Amino acid sequence: MARPPRYDETQLLDTAVRIAADAGPAAVTMSAIARASGVPNGSIYHRFPQRLALLAELWLRTVEHFQTGYFAALQSDGDPLRAGAAAARHVVAWSRQNPREAAVLLHGPQSFGRDEWPEEYARRADDGNKRVLEAVAELAERGGATAELEVDRVMLAVIELPLAVVRRYLRAGRPLPPHAEELAERCAVDLLA
Amino acid sequence: MARPPRYDETQLLDTAVRIAADAGPAAVTMSAIARASGVPNGSIYHRFPQRLALLAELWLRTVEHFQTGYFAALQSDGDPLRAGAAAARHVVAWSRQNPREAAVLLHGPQSFGRDEWPEEYARRADDGNKRVLEAVAELAERGGATAELEVDRVMLAVIELPLAVVRRYLRAGRPLPPHAEELAERCAVDLLA
DNA sequence: CGCAATGTGGAGCGTACTCTCTATTTCATG
DNA sequence: CATGAAATAGAGAGTACGCTCCACATTGCG
């Protein structure tokens, strides 16, 4: 016995991602989302109690979307070298298929107000981070890397380095070249070997 | 026959760098600089005609400061492998000595309004970029790399990868660990070999 | 000392943004 | 059809920021 919702969070977050990718996180204002989506100002506050909650959801939705595929790639192969290669390749491939979400990822949580998020969101972000760190640490162990410097190198190979490849092109406003996956995978393998 | 200046650009830019490093580029407002430096609002506009000019100078001063040492490292050795290793190590060492400026570097020019800079500043930024690209391309050539994928790999090894090492720690708010230089150099060598 | 030249300092205008508040709309149900 | 729960819509209060303006201060020089 109630009026059905006319807008949903997804629609608003999609608009917010588009704005963030095109004009940076600072441009993701409630007014901008209202203008771009046609949803009135007040209706947005019906879905998100405050701007920081919207930014937090925007970040978490994006990073969690990324991580599902990333974990799958990391565990796709028993051989740690091949698993690492698959993970590195996945980062680039996913970014190619989701360039706007990739742009969000590259900005990092701080740009979306991470330090002022309500506890609940901060915890969700920490959990996700922890899962990634554990998965990569396990990969390093399977590969025989134990020293801190060795683990750092694995982390670099399967996360930071492929992201650096993506960043290099997206920051310049250019699309990813066809050989980007190849580049990231080969470099990752070289660092892991 | 005139009143001597009481404040100078350096003082204001130093404050701006501190704010940018601690709270992000968006926090670098004219009001924030005025509050943090004790220089009145109006006096800042005596040095910088508009906010974007200040942001542009902040970015350019930082990146040019970085590049002087970087070029020296790139040309420090005739052997391309050793030169690349020195460059990678320099990126980390410089970031360790200048953590706030390094934080600025990691944000990238877009975060400082690059797309809306007056022509003059945009050109200066382009020139600096071009010099770096040329220097790295020359290094790649000396190392026998000619294919586009090979040049990209060199670019990754001597710029993006060491920056990724720095980013990993600074983004988390932690200081660079003692072995960071070693990590960046070894990984760079592996990618160059 | 008076003058010209340059720098200062802070009040304040216009704008944009976050968030609130409330009248209004919509729909399942009795 | 009347009712009430849930959602909408948009005006507007409060705040911060970019930038302007101009009365005033500080110097070197004649």
Q: Examine the pLDDT at A1 and tell me if it is beyond 80.
A: no
pLDDT value for B145: 87
CB contact under 8 A, B149 and A182: yes
Q: Average pLDDT of chain A? A: 97
Alpha-carbon gap, residue B40 to A183, rounded angstroms:
51
Q: Which nucleotide across the nucleic acid strands is nearest to A31, CA versus C1'?
A: C17
User: A110 to chain B: which residues are within 8 Å by CB?
Assistant: 24, 171
Q: What is the pLDDT of residues B138-163, one digit of tens each?
A: 999 999 988 989 999 999 999 999 99
Q: What percent of chain A clears pLDDT 90, i.e. is strictly above it?
A: 95
Nearest-Cα distance to chain A for B154, in Å, is 10
Q: Which residue has the tokens 């190590």?
A: B89
Pair A64, A137: CB distance under 8 Å: no
Task: State which residue has its Cα closest to the C1' atom of C27.
Answer: A3
CB neighbours of B1 closer than 8 A, spacing ≥ 6?
none
Q: What is the DSSP string of A51-105?
A: HHHHHHHHHHHHHHHHHHHHHHHHTS-SSHHHHHHHHHHHHHHHHHH-HHHHHHH
Nearest chain B residue to A115, by CA: B23
Q: Identity (one letter) of the amino acid at A187?
A: C
Alpha-carbon gap, residue B126 to B149, rounded angstroms:
23
Nearest-Cα distance to chain A for B48, in Å, is 22
Fold of B54-192: Tetracycline Repressor; domain 2 (1.10.357)
pLDDT value for A145: 87
Q: How would residue B80 be classed by pLDDT, with cut points 50, 70 and 90?
A: very high
Q: What is the pLDDT of residues A86-115, one digit of tens each?
A: 999 999 999 999 999 999 999 999 999 999
Alpha-carbon gap, residue A175 to B9, rounded angstroms:
38
Q: Examine the pLDDT at B62 and tell me if it is beyond 90.
A: yes
Answer whether A171 touches B (CB < 8 Å). Answer: yes
Q: How would residue A2 be classed by pLDDT, with cut points 50, 70 and 90?
A: confident
Answer whether B190 touches A (CB < 8 Å). Answer: yes
Q: What percent of chain A clears pLDDT 70, i.e. is strictly above it?
A: 99
Q: Examine the pLDDT at B1 and tell me if it is beyond 80.
A: no
Answer whether B116 touches A (CB < 8 Å). Answer: no
How many angstroms is C1' of C22 away from CA of A183?
58
Q: What is the pLDDT of residues A135-145, one digit of tens each?
A: 999 999 999 98
**Domain spans in chain A, listed from the N-terminal domain onward:** 59-192
Question: E strand or H helix at B143, and its extent?
Answer: none
Nearest-Cα distance to chain A for B15, in Å, is 20
pLDDT value for B55: 98
Residues in chain A, total: 193
Answer whether B163 touches A (CB < 8 Å). Answer: yes
pLDDT value for B2: 84
pLDDT value for A5: 94
Q: Examine the pLDDT at A29 and tell me if it is beyond 90.
A: yes
CB contact under 8 A, B148 and A191: no
CB contact under 8 A, A179 and B110: no
